[in-house]
Structures are given as structure tokens and as C-alpha cells.
């Protein structure tokens, strides 16, 4: 289980750094997110997506160190599951790229890790109140 926690921690830090760097940099075309924004609308979308990525990093980190056994992890798991479904449609409509495949694999591993850790914590709940 320690490897799952280490993986979640590393991906959470990566998401936080990538999201915050894209949000705060004057140019949204950073090395962290493979988004090329040429118009103002695309820049708005890129910063919004960066906010989503930073939020996932924050919630995942909070889940690791939370005293709550289930709640935050469930939220993260649902968000990542919806992201993976959207990636499937992206593959259908937009095709495949190396970064899209890599982010899908990392997202799937993150979802599996969150699920495993959530099940472990759920089994630790005391129902004898």
C-alpha cells in the first residue's frame, strides 16, 4: 500500500505544479501542459483546465493526509473517472497522440490507486458506534 501512496503523492505534486504554473504564468503555453493556445478563448480554456488539474492535485494530496476515511477520495475518484471517459471520446474524435496516451495511462493508474486506497480505508471504518 505504501507504493500506492507514493504514486498518489507524486502525481498530486505534479498536478499541483503543472496547474499552478499554467494558471500563474503570463503565457499559458508552458512545458507542463501540452496545450497550444493561440486565441483568447483557448487561453481561457487552458487556464480553466489548469485549475481543474491543480484542484485534483490538491484533493488527492488532502485525501492522503486526511483523517476522513472515504469522502475526499470518492470525490477525486469520480472526477478522474469522468476525465477518463472524456479521454475516450477525445481518442475517438481527435485521434491519438503520445501525450494523450501517457496522460490516460497515468489517469487510469491514479484512479486504480485511489480506488485501492479508498477500499482499504473503508474496511477500517468502525460501524460499532
Pick from 89, 117, 100: nearest CA to 8: 117
Query: Do the beta carbons of residue 11 and residue 63 sit within 8 Å?
Result: no
Segment 35-94, tens digit of pLDDT: 777 877 777 777 777 878 888 888 888 888 877 655 777 888 888 887 787 778 777 877
Identify the residue with better confidence: 1 or 128: 1
Signed CA dihedral, 119, 121, 122, 124: sign only = positive
Alpha-carbon distance of 106 to 128, in angstroms, equals 38
In this prediction, residues 3-11 reach a mean pLDDT of 90
| pLDDT(112) > 80 | yes
Query: So what's the pLDDT on residue 128?
Result: 66
Whether residue 90 contacts residue 37, with contact meaning beta carbons closer than 8 Å, is answered with no
What would the pLDDT profile of 113-122 be if each residue is shown by its tens digit? 988 888 887 7
**11 compared with 121, residue with greater pLDDT:** 11
Amino acid at each position: 500500500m505504501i507504493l500506492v501512496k507514493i504514486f498518489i503523492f507524486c502525481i498530486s505534486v505534479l498536478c499541483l505544479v503543472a496547474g499552478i504554473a499554467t494558471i500563474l504564468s503570463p503565457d499559458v503555453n508552458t512545458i507542463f501542459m501540452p496545450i497550444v493556445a493561440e486565441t483568447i478563448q483557448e487561453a481561457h480554456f487552458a487556464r480553466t483546465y489548469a485549475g481543474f488539474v491543480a484542484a485534483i492535485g490538491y484533493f488527492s494530496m488532502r485525501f492522503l493526509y486526511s483523517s476522513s476515511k472515504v469522502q475526499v477520495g470518492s470525490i477525486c475518484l469520480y472526477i478522474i473517472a469522468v476525465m477518463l471517459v472524456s479521454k475516450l471520446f477525445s481518442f475517438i474524435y481527435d485521434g491519438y497522440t503520445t501525450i494523450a496516451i501517457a496522460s490516460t495511462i497515468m489517469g487510469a493508474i491514479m484512479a486504480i490507486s485511489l480506488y485501492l486506497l479508498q477500499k482499504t480505508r473503508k474496511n477500517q471504518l468502525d460501524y460499532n458506534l
